[in-house]
Amino acid sequence: MKTSDTLLLLFIVILVGFSLWAITPLDGDRFGRRGLTLGLDLKGGAYLVYEADLSKMDPSQTVDQVMTSVLSKIERRANAFGVKEPIIQRQGENRILVQLPGEKNVDEAKKLIGQVALLEFKETTSDISGQPQTDDKGEVIWTIATGIGSDGLTKELTGKYLKPNSRVDLKPNTNEPEVAFEWNDEGAILFEQITKRNINKPLGIFLDGQAISAPTVRAVIKSAGIIEGMDMKEAQNLAIQLNSGSLDVPLTVIQEQTVDATLGSDSIKKSIVAGAIGLLLVALFMILYYRMAGVIATLALIIYGIILTAVFKLVPVTLTMAGIAAAVVSIGMAVDANILIFERTKEELRAGRTLGAAVDAGFNRAWLAIRDSNVTTFIACIVLFWFGDTFGAFLVKGFALTLFIGVALSMFTAITVSRLFLSITAKVVKNTWLYGVKA
């Protein structure tokens, strides 16, 4: 055996050994990776695209500042809600992609994350009889409560003056939930003035323009307070939102995809079965048609499968249903390179070359076709990956990435594993019938 072949064989053995070590057991800890990383459609969860209404933004800030602020607030909310490993990304100018893997309570999470959650305090003006003034329909007229800040300017009292330590308490007597909050220094200055002039009058607490409660002020309060009138969930969500701060601009959901976890695990089981059957059929066909060479192709295919799984686990590549489809399609493409080589080898054998020469010539001649056909597939993958964000969501990107890795790896196994094994076998097994040609 040539030295270069010996080295190549050694390299393949090490690579396969390493890959096997990396994937057995599949959920074993290797370089901090455990198991395969599954996409939303396989483990369940939600994929949401929010659009920010930039016409409502503070004109003194840049779009980037506003979006960065919104993103970090959303992240804090998602983490506080208990989502494991949320993915939050800005998309284009004014869109935010939020992925909540494994989240079961999607509707609640969606509301919590996307709500502006602007907390405002409003006061009433009294009429002659001391009752709050009402409009024509008899509804109380609320005006935003303001105070003079430490710098002498008039300021509206909103949630932005809260310390980020709001929490849910239970009222001692009734066990009803309430949100306890604390003002920062500036908020305390404003709150003191507002409570002072509203003693024995109602003070309205509004979230995004909706009244939560309107307690009557009993004493001058400076630094802290409570908000009542919600159920437990609402109180918990409000505390999270107050601590993250209100969003700078309103958001709307423009795209949503939610998958139940049970559907995901069904899909995994099914695609494993489908993949195994597909692989078996291909192996059977290859061995029946190409005999000895088919056995080598099957071996190359198994090695391909082992390395592919290791790459998926270690990179890690997020596997989606479309990605699994791509992996199975790439089995076909992996075999294609082998078929090209074998067909060429057969031709060379028929042309009367010796086995060793035929294998070498077969590989060399097939190389151009292998290269051209794989490069065109790469081009399709790159374009799909590029555009994946803009259509079909994670499906398209997952497909493109997996197919790219699959095809690249299949090219590698074809030009190393198949070729090497074929030339080694050619030295040992000389019967040309075994290579698909009449002896």
Partner 1 sequence: MIDIVGKRKWYFLISVCLLVPGIISMLAFGFNLGIDFSSGTVMTLRLSQPVEQAALRQQMSDLGFSDATIQKTSEGDFLVRTRDIDSDEKIALVDGLKKGLNIDVTIRDFATVSPMVATEVARNAAIAVLVASIFMILYIAFAFRHMPSPFKWGFSAVIALLHDVLIVMGAFSILGWLTGYQIDAMFIVAMLTIVGFAINNTCVVYDRIRENVRKGINKDFAITVNSSILETMARCVNTSLVVILTGLALYLFGGVTIQQFILALLVGVLVGVYDSIFVAGPLLVLWDRGLKTESKAA
Give the interface with partner 1 as residue ranges (CB under 8 A). Answer: 41, 49, 107, 110-111, 253-260, 262-263, 266-267, 270-271, 273-275, 277-279, 281-282, 285-286, 289, 321-322, 324-325, 328-329, 331-333, 335-336, 339-340, 343, 347, 365, 368-369, 372-377, 379-380, 383-384, 386-387, 390-393, 395-396, 399-400, 403
Contact 194, 120 (CB under 8 A): no
The distance of closest approach from Cβ of residue 16 to partner 1 in the complex, given in angstroms and rounded to an integer, is: 22
**Closer residue to partner 1 in complex, CB, 214/400:** 400
**Greatest CA separation found in the chain?**
115
Residue 215 CA: distances (Å) to CA of 79, 130, 199, 226, 266: 32, 17, 11, 10, 52
User: Can you tell me whether residue 360 is helix, strand or coil?
Assistant: helix
Minimum distance from residue 107 beta carbon to partner 1 (Å): 5
Kindly state the smallest distance separating residue 122's Cβ from partner 1, in Å. Answer: 26
Task: Give the residue from 379, 400, 378, 380 showing the smallest Cα distance to 389.
Answer: 400
Type of residue numbered 64: D
Dihedral over alpha carbons 191, 192, 197, 199 (to 10 degrees): 90
Q: In the complex with partner 1, which residue's Cβ is closer, 170 or 263?
A: 263
Give the pair of three-digit tokens for residue 400. 């493109």
Nearest C-alpha neighbor of 41 from the set 384, 322, 329, 391: 322
Question: Please, what is the minimum distance in Å from the beta carbon of residue 176 to partner 1?
Answer: 24
DSSP bridge partners of 182: 224
* Closer to partner 1 by Cβ: residue 141 or 281: 281
Nearer to partner 1, 236 or 374 (CB): 374
Asked if 142 contacts 204 with a C-beta cutoff of 8 angstroms, the reply is yes
Q: How far is the CB of 361 from partner 1 (least distance, A)?
A: 12
Nearer to partner 1, 148 or 284 (CB): 284
Provide, rounded to whole angstroms, the least separation between the CB of residue 137 and partner 1.
26
Name the residue type at position 4.
S
The dihedral of CA 399, 402, 405, 409: what is its sign? negative
Minimal distance in Å, beta carbon 345 to partner 1?
A: 12
**What is the Cα–Cα distance from 116 to 251, expressed in whole angstroms?**
7
Q: Which is nearer to partner 1, 198 or 298 (CB)?
A: 298
CB nearer partner 1, residue 228 or residue 256 = 256
